[in-house]
Structure formats: structure tokens, C-alpha cells
Amino acid sequence: MRATEPEASVQGTTTSHVWERLADLIFELGMLRKTPRTGYQFLGSGAENVAEHSFRTAMIGLILARQAGADVARTVLLCLFHDLHEARVGDFNYVNRLYNTTNAEAALRDALRGTGLEDEGVGLWRELEAAATLEARLAHDADQLDFIANLKEEQDRGNPYAATWLKHAIPRLRTEIGQSLAQAILATDHTRWWFAGPDVSWWRRGNGRK
């Protein structure tokens, strides 16, 4: 009975306005599925939205944090919040940023206001921006490694510009763990997991043929 008391207390003190704002946030998060990552327009191939990017970034953050002995939960939270503000401001690629500016913290704060997540979310975003903690640096690397994996896939598919982009992306990594994972990504064909899974004879049979 004692274990359920905190939950009951939280539910009892949550006002209808907070529930409404949490519902607003859920719909706003859905906008990330409709927000394209714009760098691929310049690369000439590949595509993803911010929600897709954020999911794999969070998974990479988990991998890096475990390998580094860092706080896994905090690293994943940093990854989850790192681009949430883009539901409001969109994604600025490196060329866009030469001309356009935005107040990402203000956008994030407005998105979270009234949800009960404002202080935590903005705090995580500030930690990520400062990059003073190991977890923040790992989250930065997770962000870049998702991009690096996409570039490697486009390189495997024959995009001649992907190699040049990779040369610029690799130096952005901030940890040795991130560098090690990047080298593994670069050395691995992006289809290997698919073909390495089944026994070779399965591919010869095809469609379950005996």
C-alpha cells in the first residue's frame, strides 16, 4: 500500500489545466514526425524527420553511456530533450545557421510551460549546451553518431558527397567512446545486420522454400 501512495498523491494534486497542457505537449511532440531534417536537401539523398532522429539518438546515448560507465538515464533524457524545441522552430542546417537565428531555450520553455516538466526540461537543455558533464558530451556524440550512420548509409548507396560530409562530422565527436563507435560504424556496411542474421542457406531457399 505504501508503494502506491506517492502515485496517488501526484494524481490527486494534478489539476485539469496540467492535464490539458500535457495533452498539448503530446500533440506538439507529434509535430516532430512532420519536421524534416533539412541537411539532406543539400546532401542530395537521404531523408528523415526530427522524431526519427531523436529516437535513434536516444538509443545511441544509451549505448554510449553504458560503455562509458555514465548515468544512462540522464544521458537518454538529454538526448530526448535535445531537439524538442524544433517542433516550434524547425531544423536549421549548417547553411541556414549562417543567416537564421532562433531562441531554442525560449521555444522549449514555452512548449513545457504548465506541464510540470519545464524546470527539468530546460535544465537538461542547458546542461547539454554547456557540455560540461560526461553525460552531456555523450548526448552530443549520440546526436552526431546518428548523423554519421545516415551519412555512411548514403555513402554505401553511392552518394559521392557523403564522404566529404563524414570528414567534417567525425571531428565534432567529443569523447573517445564516441570516436570508437564512429570507427565501427564507418567500417560496417549498413546492410550487414540484415544479411548476417539468418543462416546462409535461408537466403538460398528464399520464401521459406525447402
pLDDT of residue 200: 74
pLDDT at 10: 45
Residue 200 lies in a domain: no
In a domain, 6, yes or no: no
Task: Summarize pLDDT for 152-208 with one digit per residue, the tens.
Answer: 999 999 999 999 999 999 999 999 999 999 999 999 999 999 888 777 777 777 666
Residue 5 has what pLDDT? 34
The answer to whether position 208 is within a domain reads no
What pLDDT does residue 201 have?
Answer: 77
Instruction: Report mean pLDDT in 10-residue bins for the chain, 210 residues.
Output: 37 84 98 97 96 98 98 98 97 92 96 97 98 98 98 98 97 98 98 83 68
Burial pattern 186-195, b for ≥16 Cβ within 10 A else e, equals eeeeeeeeee
Q: In this structure, what C-alpha cell is assigned to residue 117?
A: 516538466
Residue 166 located in a structural domain: yes
Domain membership flag for residue 198: no
> What's residue 209's pLDDT?
63
pTM (two decimals): 0.89
- Render 29-49 in DSSP notation, one character per residue: HHGGGG-B-THHHHHSS---B
Domain that holds residue 110: 16-190
Contacting residues for 74 by C-beta, under 8 A, at least 6 apart: 65, 135
4 in a structural domain: no
Q: Residue 141 and residue 175: Cα distance in Å, rounded?
A: 7
The whole-number pLDDT of residue 202 equals: 75
Let me know if residue 9 belongs to a domain: no
pLDDT of residue 199: 77
Q: Is residue 140 in a domain?
A: yes
Place of cell 526530427: 50
**CATH value at residue 183:** 1.10.3210.10
Tally the domains of the chain. Answer: 1
What cell was used for 70? 555514465
Q: What is the pLDDT of residue 197?
A: 74
